[in-house]
Amino acid sequence: MQISGAQMVIEAFIAEGVDTVFGYPGGAIMNVYDEIYKQDGFVHILNRHEQASVHAAEGYAKASGKVGVAMITSGPGFTNAVTGLADAYMDSVPLVVVSGQVPMSLIGTDGFQEIDAIGISRPCTKHNYLVTDAADLPRILKEAFYIARSGRPGPVHVDIPKDVTAQIAEFDYNVALELETYKPHTKGNPRQIKKAIEAIANAKRPLFYLGGGVINANAAEVVREFIHKTGIPTVETFMARGTLAHDDDLLVGMLGMHGSYAANMAMSETDLVIGLGARFDDRVTGKLSEFAKNADVIHVDIDPASISKLVNADYPIVGDVKNVVNDMLELVEKIDAENYESWRETIANFAELHPLTFHEDSERIKPQWVVKRVGELLGDSANISTDVGQHQMWAAQFYPFTRARQFISSGGLGTMGFGFPAAIGVKAAMPEKTSINFTGDGSILMNVQELMTAVEKKIPVINIILNNNFLGMVRQWQTLFYDKRHSETDLSVQPDFVKLAEAFGGRGYRVKTKEEFDAALKDAVEKNVVTFIEVIVERFENVMPMVPAGGSLFNMMLLEKKESK
């Protein structure tokens, strides 16, 4: 059928099964927004900032496993969205972001709200397009969704000049995909898989090392099965939290800079690392020359560029984690779980020597207690988003995750302001679950305008603000490594968060005791509206354990020995 470029965007979204689009209109994208007004195939959520639109699309994608979609205008609309693109690129989040552009005749003239969006987005997207002819739009949009979701997922940017959205052309979405230079390798090499299984069977101290790629590949269930059949202890990265349930006997804990003592020591003592969907990030490995230095490495990843990029893989396997682990399961009878009994006992001793804990305080609320308490009260019924900082690490350490896609956070880029809009996207994707955002008094102000989005669209995100009157994580580093010179991290001058929430039409609570917190959380869940729960917590609490930057995993700063809970 002959339709306009703007109509093609709408039809493509509907054909791809898109049910929610996040965005903010402007002049260059106005033709597409006019078609959004006329359609009823999907819901559009108007954010109050373009960065928030992309973060909300990320939250939607991370929670649902589907491609998130955002729409923005040219110039400052696009530059505002770049942080979201970079965040999605670092965390391998499948997005399609459509931006408006000035008309073709104005490109290169420094026209009003013109920016080289394609040049800017090239280093922080999996692929990008500048559409110069509406006849190309069906193919480009179909390719965009395919590229975003296939292989190693990532954001794809489609930039459309305003006159192209007005052009009339043939729309045929059944066009065949012919991407000669993009063919993700999804099946692992059978010989390499066989060698890997033999290496596991011969190992004395094997260790599963799970990364976010396990969740991206929807492989959590099959990975759990493989782990339980082999009886091999398992560590998770920050991005893999929830792959194993918190109470799984084979889960050692989170690995890395703020990982548990047992997890980091297990990695330091293992003789075989079984890396699944992990990229050996610096926050996980610490000092590379000391990382698992007595171990061989099996590395399974969909992205061949990730394998041996930082740590040499003795058994490299390029392929989709789910496919590779399914193939491994067929050979699992070669592995005897009894072989690893003494290894499991060794790790249990590590956990007993320095458990992941914190020191309670009878007078002041500890932030770790808040996270644990939410877990006790809500557990699996909640999805947990976070901003970036100390609260993020405490959430990863102490929340009792039970499933994949329950934990939504900014990993690679570490974007303050991510949590609230992401939690809006999470709620849009999974309305049956309570959407919690753990945030800090610094992070929450970076996208606080999304209170209006949540109020208008009746999206009941509960924001738990752990208020220590500091940029907490930076303050922690200044305390530990900069002789307590707290340069520009004191946030003692703050808004009234309760009145702020109420000014937008939400609800606000300020709590200073555990009893007040329980009452506020219960009321927030029952009232089912967007909420700020400001919790006044201990100012100088540190995230522990901690591996200093560039240090070895086995050389950790630990919680001082006191009476602990």
Q: Is 509 helix (H, G, I), strand (E, B) or coil?
A: strand
Residue 254 tokens read as 């989170």
Pairing of strands 127-130, 296-301: unpaired
What distance in Å separates the CA atoms of residue 155 and residue 85, rounded to the nearest whole number?
6
DSSP string, 108-168: TTT-TT---HHHHHGGGSSEEEE---GGGHHHHHHHHHHHHHSSS--EEEEEEEHHHHH-E
Count of CB atoms situated within 10 Å of the CB of 326: 16
Active site residue 162: yes
Going 230 to 232 to 237 to 243, the CA torsion angle's sign is positive
From residue 372, give the alpha-carbon distance in Å to each of 144, 357, 366, 518.
Answer: 40, 11, 10, 12
> Which H helix or E strand runs over 53?
helix 50-64
Residue 370 tokens read as 């808040």
What distance in Å separates the CA atoms of residue 521 and residue 514, rounded to the nearest whole number?
11
Q: What is the largest CA-CA distance in the chain?
A: 74
Active-site residue, from 113, 198, 430, 502: 113
Residue 360 tokens read as 């309670």
Active-site residue, from 162, 322, 366, 427: 162
Active site residue 7: no
Task: Report how far Cα 377 is from the mean position of its chain's Cα atoms.
Answer: 24
* Dihedral angle of Cα 282, 188, 196, 242, to the nearest 10 degrees: 50
Cα atoms found within 13 Å of the Cα of residue 31, Cβ hemisphere only: 24
Q: Which of 61, 73, 1 is nearest to 33 (CA)?
A: 73
Active-site residue, from 11, 35, 50, 236: 50
Active site residue 112: yes
Residue 301 tokens read as 């990843």
Contact criterion met (CB below 8 Å) for 5 and 134 = yes
Q: Taking phi first (over 0 means left), then psi (-120 to 50 degrees means alpha), and beta for anything else, what does residue 118 get?
A: alpha
Percent helix, strand and coil across the chain, each rounded to 5? 40, 20, 40
Active site residue 473: yes
What distance in Å separates the CA atoms of residue 346 and residue 459, rounded to the nearest whole number?
47
Active-site residue, from 473, 544, 546, 556: 473
Residues carrying an active site annotation? 50, 112-113, 162, 473
